[in-house]
């Protein structure tokens, strides 16, 4: 008898007996459904739907669940039990998916099903609590069966983690994206015509090279690719410079530098663009100063490639820094000391030992910067001018007068092709070499200080950028403290009062400010999404680095799939996929949380993979030798060494949930309005002061959240001696 399998089978059958099978408009917390578990079609449990209401298509699923219960109690060899459990659970999942997707609000969902079975009078709404528990039960039984058969070393935890990650990515990433991308092959009436994809992608606006001959503009595909290459390289260089200064020099203001480094990531994307316009725009301070002092005509140079690249470097350098800081810290000082012992100078040690060991982090940072750039929407829409990119073309295809989902889907496929090319390039650069530098052996070496030239170069790159960041945010904060920027610079707190007013009444405090509703909604949903994002991302990274299984490369790319697609496409894809059965969650808080989690998970995956590639497998093997199972090894060996990656994943998950715009603009409702959509509406209405004041409040909130996350997670301890660095010398 397998107790875990028996418990899951019993839980699934109890849910089929005692919980409503379909979703409830009143919610599960309502008690209305308790009296209709057998009598009402809307509230009935799964077994009641079959026995009382004649929904025969649910019977095979429940029979598969009952068969698993029998297998759990009948004595048989372990491997045979595992094989049968895998078969029954797989059959149950196939039957569950078939009935869920085959029957919808108007009966059969496909014409060939009507022809095969005849017209159906019954309908089927989205799955509810009972069906969800049964689905989770079948997935758990599949995991247990795989472990009993010896897969993943016979470890049920590893098998369960693999099943959870694969199923969640399939359901909440692959399915919505495939649903919207299928539109690329369909005409306006839904007929499948593969030739349409070639026609849509062959447009001159996409591939034109007229800019090289000076006779026009380049196509949006070339613009996107060139911008992404520059952004990936720039963010990696800047992130590495900041990481080296923070870890390998005696710079006195490291904490301030870290705050300035991560400041752009805690900012709504359009704020950076707005600040750049206030400084460098046609009526910006720089143009006005040049016109006044040197009679230089005012220009619009900030609009176009240079403006978008500058904004993206500000926005995405923090992501590269978060990926690289743990990698730089993880380079073993012992190896560097060995290089110095062999009479290599600090330049040779840096070039032949340190940087090659950082290669996974550098490659991952470039990949994240590249994909962030091609998927970016906020900066190109604000600063792009006549420099078109694929993300803005997709947006106008969806929300413009043309409303051409097919063209938007075709352009999204092209973005995926670019992301796939960058993904395989990254794998080729990293290769199959070992980069492990953290092992179970003692490692008490001292970090090698940077060579003087490298230190000065890093400071020349990072410090001016940090100063520019300080100036940029100075203008952003001032913009919320004046009446009307550009016309009336009278100091005032009116914008903050309007947004965050609190009134004291006889009944207590009232949050009367216009921004409070969206503020608390955003904080609540982001606080739910951030730990889920980090947990799922780091578990996926652990599986991809530590486990060997068929389809590993496909799973790794699938984790990056939602990252490679513009947020606008993700939002539309979620509406397409989850507005109809079997998952009707559009208009709820759940769909926003799911969008946050699976949109932001890839950064946690890449940071975890980069950090984990430095941890020697001998630590896992030592844990296994001491009879440590998967959960113990992960909790007590791996995770303490992944604290920089955990902090990065939590920070990124929370911050991006607060600042995201394009991915949720189609998902918010009056009940669940988010801060960014509220700010955009204020910008559209010309209320820039209130928008900037609200953005500044969000920045303060996220800086406080980052500090709390850092204090809660702590720092990684590697048992190395501390060293006082002064001016880069030990």
DSSP string, 429-483: HHTT-----B-SS---PPPPPPPHHHHHHHHHHHHHHHHHHHHHHHHHHHHTSEE
Residues 466 and 590 in one domain: no
**Whose CA is closest to 662, among 651, 642, 676, 647?**
676
Residues 467 and 510 in one domain: no
Task: Determine the pLDDT at residue 313.
Answer: 92
**Whose CA is closest to 316, among 242, 427, 423?**
242
**Whose CA is closest to 596, among 161, 172, 171?**
172
Measured CA distances, 406 to 183, 357, 586 (Å): 5, 44, 22
Task: Determine the pLDDT at residue 436.
Answer: 57
pLDDT averaged per 10 residues, the chain (length 730):
88 95 85 85 93 93 94 90 95 96 88 85 90 97 94 89 94 90 79 86 89 80 95 94 86 78 71 77 75 76 90 87 81 79 82 84 89 84 86 80 78 85 82 57 64 88 86 80 76 92 83 92 95 92 87 85 76 86 91 94 83 80 80 82 83 87 83 88 76 87 85 66 48
Let me know the angle formed at the C-alpha of 644 by 642 and 646, rounded to the nearest 5 degrees. 65
Residues 402 and 254 in one domain: yes
For residue 613, give every residue at least 6 positions away whose Cβ sits within 8 Å of its Cβ, in sequence order, or none.
360, 435, 436, 545
For residue 149, give every residue at least 6 positions away whose Cβ sits within 8 Å of its Cβ, in sequence order, or none.
79, 82, 83, 86
Residues 241 and 126 in one domain: no
| DSSP state for residue 9 in the 8-state scheme | H
**Whose CA is closest to 46, among 35, 57, 34?**
57
- Residue 195 in any domain: the answer is no
Residues 115 and 26 in one domain: yes
3-state secondary structure of 127: strand
Beta bridge mates, 22: 127
Strands (E) across 458-561 are located at 482-484, 488-491, 503-505, 508-510
**CA atoms within 13 A of residue 422's CA, in its CB half-sphere:** 28
| DSSP state for residue 350 in the 8-state scheme | I
Residues 46 and 83 in one domain: yes
Are 523 and 701 in contact, with CB atoms under 8 Å apart? Answer: yes
CA 366, CA 237: separation in Å to the nearest integer? 9
Task: Determine the pLDDT at residue 283.
Answer: 67
Task: Determine the pLDDT at residue 439.
Answer: 54
CA 708, CA 714: separation in Å to the nearest integer? 10
Task: Determine the pLDDT at residue 629.
Answer: 76
- Among the three residues 128, 149, 170, which one is the final residue of a domain in this structure? 149
Residues 468 and 540 in one domain: no
What is the sign, positive or negative, of the torsion defined by CA atoms of 574, 590, 512, 655? negative
- Residue 588 in any domain: the answer is yes
Are 674 and 668 in contact, with CB atoms under 8 Å apart? Answer: yes
CA 275, CA 270: separation in Å to the nearest integer? 9
The full DSSP string for 169-235 is: HIIIIIHHHHHHHGGGGB-TTS-B-THHHHHHHT-HHHH-BGGGGTSSPBPHHHHHHHHHHHHHHHH
- Bridge-based pairing state of the strands 482-484 and 107-108: unpaired
CA 366, CA 383: separation in Å to the nearest integer? 23
**Whose CA is closest to 371, among 414, 410, 308, 422?**
422
- Among the three residues 116, 149, 182, which one is the final residue of a domain in this structure? 149
Beta bridge mates, 108: 103
Whole-prediction pTM value? 0.80
- Residue 336 in any domain: the answer is yes
Residues 460 and 515 in one domain: no
Residues 280 and 380 in one domain: yes
Q: Which residue is it, tokens 């060293």?
A: 723
- Bridge-based pairing state of the strands 482-484 and 488-491: antiparallel
- Residue 461 in any domain: the answer is yes
Long-range CB contacts for residues 31-38, cutoff 8 Å, separation at least 24: none
| DSSP state for residue 588 in the 8-state scheme | S
Instruction: Give the CATH number for residue 589.
Output: 1.10.3720.10
Q: What's the number of domains the chain is made of?
A: 3
Task: Determine the pLDDT at residue 401.
Answer: 64
Residues 583 and 461 in one domain: no
Q: Which residue is it, tokens 């001032």?
A: 478
- Residue 514 in any domain: the answer is yes
Residues 256 and 304 in one domain: yes
Q: Provide the token pair at 390.
A: 């694929």
Are 386 and 219 in contact, with CB atoms under 8 Å apart? Answer: no
- Residue 167 in any domain: the answer is no
Are 224 and 209 in contact, with CB atoms under 8 Å apart? Answer: no
Instruction: Give the CATH number for residue 45.
Output: 1.20.1440
Are 435 and 545 in contact, with CB atoms under 8 Å apart? Answer: no
My answer on whether omega of the bond before 221 falls inside 30° of 0, hence cis, is no
- Residue 682 in any domain: the answer is yes
Backbone angles phi and psi of 186, in degrees to 5:
-120, 150
Q: Provide the token pair at 511.
A: 């949050």
- Report the chain's terminal Cα–Cα distance, integer Å: 63
- Among the three residues 149, 175, 210, which one is the final residue of a domain in this structure? 149
- Residue 726 in any domain: the answer is no
Are 260 and 470 in contact, with CB atoms under 8 Å apart? Answer: yes
Measured CA distances, 255 to 251, 258, 267, 440, 472 (Å): 10, 5, 19, 30, 19
Are 122 and 107 in contact, with CB atoms under 8 Å apart? Answer: yes
Q: Which residue is it, tokens 């060991």?
A: 357
CA 150, CA 706: separation in Å to the nearest integer? 42
CA 121, CA 56: separation in Å to the nearest integer? 13
Range of the domain at 229: 224-435+443-487
What is the sign, positive or negative, of the torsion defined by CA atoms of 644, 356, 618, 555? positive
CA torsion 220-223-226-232 (nearest 10°) is -80
Q: Is residue 493 classed exposed, middle or buried when 0-12, 13-18 and 19+ CB atoms within 10 A define those classes?
A: exposed
Are 346 and 282 in contact, with CB atoms under 8 Å apart? Answer: no
CA 602, CA 220: separation in Å to the nearest integer? 25
| DSSP state for residue 298 in the 8-state scheme | P
Residues 361 and 458 in one domain: yes
| DSSP state for residue 20 in the 8-state scheme | B
Task: Determine the pLDDT at residue 723.
Answer: 47
**Whose CA is closest to 613, among 425, 427, 358?**
358
Are 180 and 410 in contact, with CB atoms under 8 Å apart? Answer: no
């Amino acid at each position: 008898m397998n107790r875990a399998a028996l418990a899951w089978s019993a839980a699934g059958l109890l849910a089929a007996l005692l919980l409503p099978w379909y979703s409830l408009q009143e919610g599960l917390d309502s008690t209305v459904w308790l009296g209709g578990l057998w009598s009402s079609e809307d509230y009935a449990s799964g077994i009641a739907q079959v026995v009382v209401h004649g929904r025969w298509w649910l019977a095979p699923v429940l029979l598969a669940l009952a068969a698993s219960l029998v297998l759990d109690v009948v004595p048989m060899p372990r491997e045979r039990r595992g094989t049968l459990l895998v078969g029954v659970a797989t059959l149950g999942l196939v039957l569950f998916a078939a009935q869920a997707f085959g029957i919808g609000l108007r009966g059969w969902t496909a014409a060939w099903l009507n022809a095969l079975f005849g017209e159906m009078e019954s309908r089927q709404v989205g799955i509810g609590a009972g069906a969800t528990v049964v689905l989770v039960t079948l997935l758990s039984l599949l995991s247990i069966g795989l472990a009993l058969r010896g897969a993943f070393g016979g470890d049920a935890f590893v098998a369960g983690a693999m099943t959870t990650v694969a199923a969640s990515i399939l359901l909440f990433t692959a399915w919505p994206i495939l649903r919207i991308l299928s539109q690329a092959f369909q005409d306006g009436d839904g007929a499948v015509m593969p030739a349409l994809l070639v026609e849509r992608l062959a447009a001159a606006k996409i591939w034109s090279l007229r800019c090289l001959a000076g006779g026009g503009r380049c196509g949006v595909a070339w613009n996107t690719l060139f911008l992404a290459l520059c952004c990936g390289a720039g963010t990696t260089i800047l992130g590495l410079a900041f990481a080296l200064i923070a870890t390998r020099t005696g710079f006195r203001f490291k904490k301030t530098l870290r705050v300035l480094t991560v400041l752009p990531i805690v900012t709504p994307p359009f704020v950076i663009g707005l600040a750049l316009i206030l400084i460098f725009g046609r009526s910006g301070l720089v143009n006005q100063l040049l016109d006044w002092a040197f009679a230089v005509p005012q220009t619009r140079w900030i609009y176009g490639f240079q403006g978008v690249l500058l904004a993206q470097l500000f926005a995405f350098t923090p992501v590269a820094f978060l990926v690289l800081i743990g990698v730089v810290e993880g380079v073993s000082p012992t190896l560097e000391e060995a290089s110095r012992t062999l009479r290599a100078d600090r330049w040779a040690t840096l070039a032949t030992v340190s940087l090659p060991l950082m290669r996974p982090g550098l490659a991952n940072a470039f990949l994240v910067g590249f994909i962030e750039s091609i998927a970016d929407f906020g900066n190109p829409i604000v600063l792009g001018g006549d420099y078109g990119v694929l993300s803005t073309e997709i947006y106008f295809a969806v929300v413009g007068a043309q409303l051409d989902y097919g063209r938007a889907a075709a352009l999204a496929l092209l973005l995926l092709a670019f992301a796939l090319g960058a993904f395989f390039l990254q794998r080729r650069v990293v290769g199959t070499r070992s980069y492990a530098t953290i092992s179970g052996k003692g490692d008490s070496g001292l970090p090698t200080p940077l060579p003087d030239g490298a230190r000065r170069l890093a400071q020349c790159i990072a410090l001016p950028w940090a100063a520019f960041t300080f100036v940029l945010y100075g203008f952003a904060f001032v913009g919320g403290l004046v009446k009307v920027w550009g016309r009336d610079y009278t100091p005032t707190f009116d914008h903050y009062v309007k947004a965050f007013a609190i009134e004291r009444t006889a009944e207590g405090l009232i949050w009367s400010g216009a921004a409070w509703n969206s503020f608390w909604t955003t904080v609540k949903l982001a606080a739910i999404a951030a730990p889920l994002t980090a947990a799922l991302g780091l578990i996926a990274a652990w599986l991809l680095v530590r486990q060997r299984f068929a389809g590993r490369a496909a799973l790794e790319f699938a984790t990056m799939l939602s990252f490679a697609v513009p947020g606008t496409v993700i939002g539309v894809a979620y509406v397409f996929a989850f507005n109809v059965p079997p998952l009707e969650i559009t208009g709820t808080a759940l769909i926003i949380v799911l969008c946050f989690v699976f949109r932001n998970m890839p950064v946690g995956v890449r940071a975890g993979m980069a950090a984990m590639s430095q941890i020697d497998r001998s630590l896992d093997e030592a844990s296994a030798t001491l009879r440590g199972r998967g959960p113990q090894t992960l909790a007590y060996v791996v995770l303490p060494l992944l604290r920089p990656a955990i902090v990065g994943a939590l920070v990124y998950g929370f911050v991006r949930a607060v600042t995201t715009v394009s991915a949720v603009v189609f998902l918010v409702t009056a009940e669940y309005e988010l801060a960014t959509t509220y700010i955009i509406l204020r910008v559209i209405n010309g209320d820039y002061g209130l928008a900037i004041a609200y953005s500044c409040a969000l920045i303060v909130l996220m800086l406080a959240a980052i500090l709390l996350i850092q204090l809660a997670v702590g720092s990684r301890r590697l048992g190395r001696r501390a060293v006082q660095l002064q001016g880069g010398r030990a």
